[in-house]
Amino acid sequence: MSRPLKCRRVSFLPGATYFKPAGIPLRVLEEVRLSVEEAEAMRLKDIEGLEQEQGAERMNISRPTFQRVLASSRRKIADALLNGKAIRIEGGSFEMAFSRFKCLSGHEWGVPFETMISAPPRLCPVCNTPDFMPLHPLGAEESCAQTVLCRRQTKIRTKCRLGGIELMKIAAISEDGITISQHFGRAPLYVVVTVEDGKVVSKETRAKAGHHTFAANQHPDTAPGERHGYDAGAQVRHATMAQSIDDCQVLIAGGMGWGAYDSLKSRNIEPIVTDVETIDEAVKLYLAGNLPNIMERLH
Ligand SMILES: [Zn+2]
């Protein structure tokens, strides 16, 4: 039986994740895959200029492991450059080291990496509330309108052990408090599940502002294939609807428009569209890293 791989700590996600040589047709193009931790090892050593010992410490791994990950990374890149192969950065086995946080009142603050490891924050330094959440590091939060990108993010989420999380709130839209509703705009309720250290500690129901209005007025007509939720009033509606879950990191829905999807992302709430029926099941899957984002359910 193979031992589960220990997670390597990563504090950066590259923004661009695919590189291809010019002039080589895709069908004959070979590809090398660089894991996120391989990219991180190279970043720490070759860009930040750290010694291997320091790099290993940053990634929470031994020096020989760091050396091995770094060597593998450089070998792959040399192979791609000299033999004309494409490079794809994705997957791996790592955890994110968060370094920025935001409290419920919107105060944001940064924590040096070393402090993050030795003494992760317990209170907001401005208002002393214990209700705060980590913000994703650079690169993880980029706007995501393409399935390709979302697969990458799903993969990243799947592999993440969210280090240093004190508190996490997951919202789901619902009509009955039990099942997940199909339409973000029309659902009357949010069910908000609070998770501490990976365990569900409470569940509450919140009224969702605006659903009467949206249920009565159908969406403005959109041409087939046109993405909806970008019309003049939509941004305001989405903002109103998101207000009561501003403390949540994740929103689970059975379906929603692209406009709502982008709007949630811009508020630092990760939208997930799923075909899972009940909220309990979806939360369980999410916490296990097994709740896929089915982008086809966006309209
Ligand atoms: Zn605060």
- pLDDT tens string 153-162: 333 332 233 3
Say how many Å lie between the CA of residue 114 and the centre of ligand 1: 22
* 70 within 8 A of 52, measured Cβ to Cβ: yes
pLDDT at 97: 59
pLDDT at 89: 83
Q: Kindly report which listed range (41-45, 64-68, 265-269) carries the lowest average pLDDT score.
A: 265-269
pLDDT at 156: 35
What would the 3-class secondary structure string for the chain be? Answer: CCCCCCCEEECCCCCCCEECCCCCCHHHCCEEEECHHHHHHHHHHHHCCCCHHHHHHHCCCCHHHHHHHHHHHHHHHHHHHHHCCEEEECCCCEEECCCEEEECCCCEEECCHHHHHHCCCCCCCCCCCCCEEEECCCCCCCCCCCHHHHHHHHHHHHHCCCCCCCCEEEEEEECCCCECCCCCCCCCEEEEEEEECCEEEEEEEEECCCHHHHHHCCCCCCCCCCCCCCCCCHHHHHHHHHHCCCCCCEEEECCECHHHHHHHHHCCCEEEECCCCEHHHHHHHHHCCCCCCCHHHEC
Sequence-distant (≥ 6) Cβ neighbours of residue 54 within 8 angstroms: 44
pLDDT at 191: 93
Better-predicted residue by pLDDT, 261 or 91: 261
**167-297 has which CATH code?**
3.30.420.130
CA distance 250 to 269: 5
pLDDT at 4: 43
| Range list for CATH 3.30.420.130 in the chain | 167-297
pTM of this structure: 0.44
Say how many Å lie between the CA of residue 167 and the centre of ligand 1: 14
Q: Kindly report which listed range (8-22, 166-180, 284-298) carries the lowest average pLDDT score.
A: 8-22
pLDDT at 207: 83
Q: What is the mean pLDDT of the chain?
A: 75
Residue 111 reports pLDDT greater than 70: yes
* 16 within 8 A of 83, measured Cβ to Cβ: no
Say how many Å lie between the CA of residue 70 and the centre of ligand 1: 39
Say how many Å lie between the CA of residue 164 and the centre of ligand 1: 17
**What is the mean predicted confidence (pLDDT) over 44-57?**
92
Say how many Å lie between the CA of residue 28 and the centre of ligand 1: 54
Say how many Å lie between the CA of residue 103 and the centre of ligand 1: 5
Q: Between β-strands 86-89 and 31-34, what pairing exists: parallel, antiparallel or unpaired?
A: parallel
pLDDT at 166: 46
Topology of domain 8-95, CATH = Arc Repressor Mutant, subunit A (1.10.10)
**What is the mean predicted confidence (pLDDT) over 215-234?**
56
How many CB atoms sit inside 10 A of residue 160's CB?
17
Q: Kindly report which listed range (59-68, 72-81, 213-222) carries the lowest average pLDDT score.
A: 213-222
Say how many Å lie between the CA of residue 166 and the centre of ligand 1: 15
CA distance 49 to 55: 9
| Range list for CATH 1.10.10 in the chain | 8-95
For 244-289, write each residue's pLDDT tens digit.
887 788 999 999 888 888 888 877 788 999 999 999 999 999 888 8
Say how many Å lie between the CA of residue 139 and the centre of ligand 1: 24
Better-predicted residue by pLDDT, 107 or 247: 107
Residue 86 reports pLDDT greater than 80: yes
Residue 223 reports pLDDT greater than 70: no
